[in-house]
Structure 1
Amino acid sequence: MASFLLQVPSTLRNPSVFASSSSSSNGSFPTSGNQTSQSGKGGPLVIELPLNQIRRPLMRTRTNDPHKVQELMDSIAQIGLQVPIDVLEVDGAYYGFSGCHRFEAHQRLGLPTIRCKIRRGTKETLRHHLR
């Protein structure tokens, strides 16, 4: 059985960590407790992160559709977030480049955390995304 080692900044307390598989029937993941789930097939690391730990470098260049944000707010309030946002981790800092509408919906709902699919990158990867 595989095991995961997650290194997070000391400002994060008790994050929930999950391994996901593309064979999930509905795309949802557990959202409570500090459970760790492992998939036999492996997959991306999915973690619940505080919204204030995610930097949104593209927010000043993109505008979200208010109608789409409202629809997501209704859905998230009713059934929870079904698809995690993608986050790039560079030197312990988290950068969100996708999931802008889902991120804003969480903010407006006053939710403290959001489920994220974490991918590691370098400063060069980050510079490439900011171009």
Structure 2
Amino acid sequence: MQVKDLPIHKIRRPLPRCNDPAKVAALMESIREIGLQEPIEVLEVEGEYYGFSGCHRYEASVRLGNETIRCNVRRAPRSVLQMHLA
């Protein structure tokens, strides 16, 4: 696993999530004050990035207008991606 700052627009979020607005707002305030403390988890499959966790941190970063987000990046074959999508 590798830690990288990735452009937010390059991370695909293929599964719909229901975010808690209060949690997103609290994270926005925290990220503004001290930065993102915990990277989100991202799969890298054939050069594409897919996010399945960290939905509140991701949404807070998007709403703040951040261009990048710190990620724990794990390379995986397409078969692993398919398991996440099933």
After TM superposition, the score normalised by the length of structure 2 is: 0.98
Q: Number of residue pairs matched?
A: 86
CA distance in 2 between counterparts of 1:50 and 1:130 reads: 22
CA distance in 1 between counterparts of 2:34 and 2:40 reads: 16
The one-letter code matched in structure 1 to 2:43 is L
Instruction: For structure 1, list consecutive stretches of 5 or more residues without a partner in the other structure.
Output: 1-43
How far the C-alpha of 1:125 sits from its partner, in A, is 0.3
Instruction: Provide the residue aligned with 1:102 in structure 2.
Output: 57
Instruction: Provide the residue aligned with 1:30 in structure 2.
Output: none
The one-letter code matched in structure 1 to 2:59 is E
From 44, 47, 51, give the equivalent of 2:8: 51
How far the C-alpha of 1:85 sits from its partner, in A, is 0.2
The one-letter code matched in structure 1 to 2:11 is I
Structure 2 matches for 1:34-113, cutoff 5 A? Answer: 44-58=1-15, 60=16, 62-113=17-68
CA distance in 1 between counterparts of 2:10 and 2:78 reads: 18
After TM superposition, the score normalised by the length of structure 1 is: 0.65
Normalized per residue, the structure richer in helix is 2
How far the C-alpha of 1:97 sits from its partner, in A, is 0.6
- Tell which has more relative contact order, 1 or 2 (C-alpha 8 A, sep 6+): 2
Normalized per residue, the structure richer in strand is 2
Task: Using the aligned pairs only, state the percent identity.
Answer: 60
CA distance in 2 between counterparts of 1:107 and 1:63 reads: 15
For the aligned residues, what is the CA RMSD? 0.6
How far the C-alpha of 1:130 sits from its partner, in A, is 0.4
CA distance in 2 between counterparts of 1:86 and 1:107 reads: 16
Look at both structures and tell me which one has the larger radius of gyration over its CA atoms: 1
